[in-house]
Amino acid sequence: MRALSAEQFAEYARRQIAAADGILARHGRTGALCRCARQWPCPVAVTCVKMREHYVARLALAEATVRLPMVHAGRKRRVSAWRRVLTALERAVRS
């Protein structure tokens, strides 16, 4: 089995999250029961919520990994390079 690249994993994780959302759309609490007529919480909903949380967390880690810029000896350039890193990280965390 070959390893996925970061981009391939991110795409895979997004598809897993979308699949979980699609399944969860058919489940939900209606009194003591789920919309699928099982007792709430139904095992399908529990499994999908766990799967969704797993991939959301992994995707956040994957997307927070950014390519670091070259840091040069000059002080001004070093400050601006780190500012770019912080800006990229802030963007990754917000998205």
Structure tokens at 59: 């995707």
Select the span of 7-15, 25-33, 72-80, 81-89 touching Zn ion (CB under 5 A).
25-33
Cα 42–Cα 61–Cα 12 angle in degrees, nearest 5: 60
Listed ranges 8-16, 30-38, 53-61, 83-91: which one lies at the site for Zn ion (CB under 5 A): 30-38
Residues 40 to 59: which contact Zn ion by CB under 5 A?
Answer: 42, 44-45
Any idea which residue has 């789920």 for tokens?
34
Residues with Cβ within 8 Å of 70's Cβ and at least 6 positions away in sequence, in order, are 81
Does 92 bind Zn ion (CB under 5 A)? Our answer is no
Residue from 10, 23, 24, 36 in contact with Zn ion (CB under 5 A): 36
